[in-house]
Amino acid sequence: MYPVTPVLQKQIDELDKMARQSIHETVDVFAEGGITIACEFIKDTFLGQIAPGVASTVMNYRQKRFEKNTLATIEELKLQVQPIIHCFSKMDAEQRTKIGDEVFPLLFDYTADEPEQEKIKLFVNGFCSAAEQQLTEESKILFLYDILKSLRMIEIKFLLGVPEKLMKLYKGIPSERMQEYNRYQKWLEQFPVSPSHKRCIIQKLNRFDLVSVLDAYIPPRIDVAYRLDQLQLSPFGKEFIDFFKAQGSIVTE
């Protein structure tokens, strides 16, 4: 557990204030007792996860990263407070309590020690998706968060460039399809990693079932990357991208 510094406490209070304001703007759609539950969801649940057990006078590297990441998480939540509260207004008391007590704390569990701060937006997007879908199945959320935690940003950016269908060449291929193929092929060739690194990325994404690789094609050497016409986004890969709203959330170039 890490200490809550004055800077972090100020941001927590600001998030709580924004949440309360948004709640009161939609007060008419809340069931009796819903306002109290939603308010406590933002502040008390969060504080219960990060309140320190012991005081500390000097922050070490991990503590600094914890504060930096937590502040970044709060900033992302501020941007999405209104849609989150809107989603809560559509839930019954049991759903609000479950997401507030079980799903919400997971967000900070995963972002606290995340080494790539750019991924924090995706974790917050995942929480928003869970709220939108009224997803209270903790095991599924943990499964998706675990995969996101395991991926590096360079791998996520590669995933976003993988076509949904195999880009095969054939006789008489329409010109617009040929242009699309050439665009994807250029992207694959210019992706800023070595062929061997690219191969490792594809194998990792394939291991998580985020992409599908044609079994018949195996690169002969480790320094040879997979060809574009052997690679496509899997159904789960599309679900993963949609859940974390990755498309459009991060810069891929």
What pLDDT is stored for residue 79 in this prediction? 87
Residue 28: band (very low, low, confident or very high) from pLDDT cuts 50, 70, 90? very low
Could you say which of 123, 150, 177 is where a domain stops?
150
250 located within any domain? no
Percentage of residues in the chain with pLDDT exceeding 90? 26
Structure token pair of residue 169: 């060449």
Classify strands 211-213 and 231-233 as parallel, antiparallel or unpaired. Answer: antiparallel
User: Does the pLDDT at position 123 exceed 60?
Assistant: yes
Q: Do 161 and 139 lie in a common domain? A: no
195 located within any domain? yes
152-166: b or e for each residue (b if 16 or more CB lie within 10 Å)? Answer: ebebbbbbbebbeee
- Give the number of other Cβ atoms within 10 Å of residue 177's Cβ: 13
CA atoms of 246 and 198, how far apart (whole Å): 20
194 located within any domain? yes
Mean pLDDT of the residues in the chain: 76
- Domain coverage including residue 85: 6-150
Which helix (H) or strand (E) covers residue 219, if one does? none
Could you say which of 93, 127, 150 is where a domain stops?
150
1 located within any domain? no
Number of domains in the chain: 2
Q: Do 131 and 186 lie in a common domain? A: no
Range in 49-58, 90-99, 133-142 the model is least confident about: 49-58
Q: Do 83 and 184 lie in a common domain? A: no
Structure token pair of residue 129: 């998706």
Q: Do 197 and 224 lie in a common domain? A: yes
Q: Do 140 and 161 lie in a common domain? A: no
Give the highest mean pLDDT range of 9-18, 19-28, 35-44, 94-103. Answer: 94-103
Give the highest mean pLDDT range of 51-55, 78-82, 181-185. Answer: 78-82
Could you say which of 150, 182, 197 is where a domain stops?
150
What pLDDT is stored for residue 145 in this prediction? 97
What pLDDT is stored for residue 32 in this prediction? 43
Cβ atoms of 194 and 222 within 8 Å: the answer is no
Strands, DSSP E only, in 99-243? 211-213, 231-233
CA atoms of 78 and 121, how far apart (whole Å): 11
Who contacts 105 (Cβ-Cβ below 8 Å, separation ≥6)? 45, 46, 48, 49
CA atoms of 208 and 212, how far apart (whole Å): 10
192 located within any domain? yes
CA atoms of 51 and 136, how far apart (whole Å): 24
Q: Do 146 and 162 lie in a common domain? A: no
What pLDDT is stored for residue 216 in this prediction? 47
116 located within any domain? yes
89 located within any domain? yes
Range in 91-95, 124-128, 203-207, 218-222 the model is least confident about: 218-222
DSSP designation for 226: P
CA atoms of 48 and 65, how far apart (whole Å): 19
Q: Do 43 and 127 lie in a common domain? A: yes
Residue 18: band (very low, low, confident or very high) from pLDDT cuts 50, 70, 90? low
Q: Do 137 and 173 lie in a common domain? A: no
Helix axes 61-79, 81-89, angle to 10 degrees: 70
Residue 214: band (very low, low, confident or very high) from pLDDT cuts 50, 70, 90? confident
Question: Left, alpha or beta for 167 (phi > 0: left; psi -120 to 50: alpha)?
Answer: beta
CA atoms of 20 and 18, how far apart (whole Å): 5
Q: Do 139 and 29 lie in a common domain? A: yes
Q: Measuring CA to CA, how many Å separate 236 from each of 98, 144, 205, 233?
A: 26, 10, 11, 8
Q: Do 11 and 91 lie in a common domain? A: yes
249 located within any domain? no
Q: Do 143 and 196 lie in a common domain? A: no
Strands, DSSP E only, in the chain? 211-213, 231-233
Q: Do 125 and 168 lie in a common domain? A: no
pLDDT tens digits, 146-174: 999 999 999 999 999 888 876 665 666 67
User: Does the pLDDT at position 44 exceed 70?
Assistant: no
Mean pLDDT of 46-56: 44
